[in-house]
Structure 1
Amino acid sequence: MLSALSLASCNGVMYDEEGDCDPHYKARFIFDMNMLYADAFSKEVNAVTLYLIDPATGDIVWQKSERGDRLRQDGYLMDLDVAPGSYQLLAWCGEGRDEHFAIPADASHHTQLTCRLNREYDPVTGAALSRKDLKRLYHGKTDVKIFPEEEGTYIYNVELVKNTNDVNIVLQHLSGEIVKEGYTFTITDANGSLDWDNSIMPDEEITYQPWQVLAGTAGIEYPEADDVPVITSMSACVANLTVSRLMADRSDDMRVKIYNPAGEKIVDIPLIQYALLVRGRYEHSMTEQEYLDRQNKYDLVFFIDEGNRWADSYIYINSWMVVRQSSDL
C-alpha cells in the first residue's frame, strides 16, 4: 500500500522538514498479523532491516537498519534515500535475525536474503539441535512499488509476519507426582532455513528441546452436582520450547514427542495438524496458513495416568478441549 502526502507545488505550501521540491520516500512497518488483529509493531519489534530490490535484476540496491527506542515512537517511519524508480521492499526484523538466525551480510541479490537458524550438533548422534528461547523473527515483503519523481512524501507499508512460535507443553498427572527430570520433550522439523520470500527451504531436521522445564501443581475444575465445580490439585510439569515457522502445507512434518522416565515414547503427534483443530473456535474466518501466521503461542496439555503414559482420549490446545477420534491423528 502507498500513501502520498503533502503534494503541494514548489510555489505553494512546503513542509518545514522537507525544504525542497524533491520527492521523499518512507517505509511504515505494520505487525497486525496476530490474533488481536491490531498493529503491535511498536510493542513487539525492536530491530528492522529493510532491503530495496531492483525488480529488473533482482539486485539489492539499498539497505538500512534501525533499532531500539526509535522504533517505539508513535508514527515511526524509516526514511528511504533512493532515486525515483521501481523497487520491491523486503524486510527481516526482530532481535532474532542477529542473535539466533543468520542472514548473509554480503548479500547482493534478493535470492541471497535467506535466513538460517543457528543450531548446535549432538556430539554423539550428530543431530542438529536448538534449545534456545529464540528471539522474535519477522519477515515482510511488498509487490513492486513505484517511487515517483513528483514532489511529495510517499509512504510504503511493509506488513510483517512473525516466524518464531512459543510452544508450552504441560503434563498433568492424574494420580501421582511428576518428576520433571524424568520426562524428555522434543519437537522435530526440517524448518530451520527460510527463503527470501519466507517459504521453508530444504534443510536438515532440527530437534527443538526445551529451554526451560518447571514442575509444580495445577488446579483442575471438575463439575459436580448442581454444576458446582470442584477444584482438584494435580502434579504438573511444563516444558517451554520455541520453534521456527509453521506451514500448513507441511502439516505432517512437525512432531511433538514425549518420553517417560522408562524411556517409552508416550506422545508422538503432528503439532500443526493438532494446532489447526481449534482454528474454527475463533470468531474470525481464516485460512490454515493465516491462522498459523497469526497464532504464535501454542499451549498443549496432556494427562498422564498411573503408568506414566498418556491418557490419550483428549488433549487441551490453547484451552480448548479436543477429543481424539482416531489414534492416527
Structure 2
Amino acid sequence: MQAVIRLHRANNYGYNLDLMILRNIFSDRTICKAVAAIILPLLLHSCAALKEDYNSECETGVKIKLQVAVNVNVGTGVNTSVDIDSSPAKVEKFYAEVHSVKFFVFDSTGTYIDVWGMEGKELLQKNDYTMDIPLGKGFYNVVALTGLEDTKYIVPTLTKGVSTIEDLNVKLERDAQNHQDKYLTPLWTGYTSKAVEVKEFSLTPIIIYVNVRKLTNTVIALLQDLSGKEVLSENYDFEIKADNGYLNSRGSLMPDDTITYSAYLKSNEQIESATIARAEMNTLRFDAKKNTRFVVTEKNATKADGTPKKILDINLTKYLLLTRSLYEGKVGFKLTEQQYLDYEDEYAIVFFLTPTGKVDDPYICVTININGWIIRLNEFEL
C-alpha cells in the first residue's frame, strides 16, 4: 500500500491533511509513522499559538477548580490540595447552594486581568466546579465568588489593567437605617494565597485549586416557656446586630456600620403541648473578636423607665463558641475560635425560658440548646 501526503495550511492554528492512497509502495506501518511525525509537531504548534490569541477555541490546559475548605488561609495553588473538608454533607450543601460562580483573575502585582464565570445549566453539566481558563505563561492570583446573582451583594465594576485586587470587595445592601431583613443567597469565597505560576501550555492540564468557605450564616432561634405558656413569634422582634456587612477579596471584614439583621421568616411551632416561637435570620461572617449581639424584644412593650422590654440581649458569638470544645471532641481535631465560626454556617438555638414574675424582666434563661448541645448557664439572667 502506498501513500502520498499532501499538506496545506488552513489557518493560523490548524492544517488540512490529505492522503492520496497509492498502492504497493509503502506499508501501513510506514504510513502511520510518517503521519505521526508530521501531525504531532503541528498539534503542539497550534496550542502554542494560543499564547498570542486568548479567543482561540483550542484547549489551553489551564483549569481552575473549587474545593470546600476548612480553612482557606493556606494551601491554594497549582496541583495541590490541603485542608479540604471531605465531609459529604458539607460538599453536598455546596453543590446544592451554589448556582453561579465567578473567577476574578489578577496578575502577580494584583492588577485585574479579567473575570470568567459559570452558572445555571453549565454548572449542572460541570458539577465538579472546574472551569477552563485561557491563561498564558505568567503568575496569577485568583479570587472566586459565588452567589453574586443576588443583587443584595454589591460588587464594584473592575477595569482591566487598572483595578487591583484591593478594589474587589463585597458590600451587603441595607436600607438607610442599616437594616436588613431579607433572605441572603449563600455566599462562598476563596482565593489563591499567593501568585500561582503557569509555566507553559501543556497537553496535561494545569489545575489551580481555590479552596472556598461560606460567608453567610443562618441562625434559627426558638423560644420556649418552661411553665407551658405559649410563646408566639408575632409578639417579638428577633435581631442580630453586627458590623460585618463589608468584606474584602479574602473574605476578611472591613470597617462598616452596625447592621441590624431581622428575621426573614417567623412561625409558631407545636412541640407536644408547648407552643414555641421560631425565627430564622441570616447574617454574614461571624468574627470571634467582635461582640455580635442577639436581641429579642417584646413588641409594643416598655419597661418602667421607658426602654424596650428585652427578653434576650446576649453576645451571640460567645455563646456559639461554648460548643467548640464539644464539637472538637466529636470530630477529633482542634479548631481555633475563628475556624470553628467559619466551619459552621447554621445554628439552631433553643432558649428555655423560666418566668420570673417580674414585669420588667419577665424571664431568666438557665439552659440553651445549640445544635443539639445542651449548655447550662447557672442562673444566668438574660
Shared fold (TM-score, shorter chain, > 0.5)? yes
| Candidates 54, 61, 69, aligned match of 2:121 | 69
For the Cα contact (< 8 Å) 1:42–1:71, is it kept in 2? no
Deviation of 1:36 (Å): 3.0
CA distance in 2, matches of 1:322, 1:300: 10
Three-state SS of the structure 2 residue aligned to 1:278 is: helix
Deviations 1:76-97, CA, capped at 9 Å, x for gaps = 42111121100111111125x6
Deviation of 1:197 (Å): 1.6
1:94 is aligned to 147
1:141 is aligned to 191
1:7 is aligned to none
CA distance in 1, matches of 2:122, 2:44: 20
Deviations 1:43-89, CA, capped at 9 Å, x for gaps = 33111111111122x21112112111322334342111121100111
Change (3 A) 1:305 1:249: closer
Change (3 A) 1:323 1:89: same
1:226 is aligned to none
Three-state SS of the structure 1 residue aligned to 2:224 is: strand
Identity of aligned residues (%): 29
2:317 is aligned to 272
2:353 maps to 1:304: yes
2:343 maps to 1:294: yes
- What residue identity is the alignment partner of 1:25? V
2:292 maps to 1:240: no
2:320 maps to 1:320: no
Three-state SS of the structure 1 residue aligned to 2:213 is: strand
- What residue identity is the alignment partner of 1:215? N
Deviation of 1:184 (Å): 1.3
Three-state SS of the structure 2 residue aligned to 1:305 is: strand
Three-state SS of the structure 2 residue aligned to 1:136 is: coil
| Candidates 118, 132, 136, aligned match of 1:79 | 132
2:250 maps to 1:201: no
CA distance in 1, matches of 2:38, 2:292: 60
2:171 maps to 1:116: yes
Change (3 A) 1:50 1:11: farther
Considering Cα pairs closer than 8 Å and 6+ residues apart, tell me whether 1 or 2 has the greater RCO.
Answer: 1
Change (3 A) 1:171 1:11: farther
- What residue identity is the alignment partner of 1:67? E
Deviation of 1:213 (Å): 0.8
CA distance in 1, matches of 2:38, 2:310: 74
Deviation of 1:32 (Å): 4.4
- What residue identity is the alignment partner of 2:292? M
Deviation of 1:217 (Å): 1.4
For the Cα contact (< 8 Å) 2:219–2:347, is it kept in 1? yes
Deviations 1:87-110, CA, capped at 9 Å, x for gaps = 111111125x64221111235211
Deviation of 1:312 (Å): 1.5
- What residue identity is the alignment partner of 1:144? A
**Residues matched between the structures, number:** 296
Change (3 A) 1:132 1:19: farther
* Residue correspondence of structure 1 range 8-87 to structure 2 within 5 A: 20-22=46-48, 23-33=60-70, 36=87, 39-40=91-92, 41-56=94-109, 58-72=110-124, 73-87=126-140
CA distance in 2, matches of 1:318, 1:293: 15
Give the number of the structure whose residues are more often helix, by fraction. 2
RMSD after superposition: 2.7
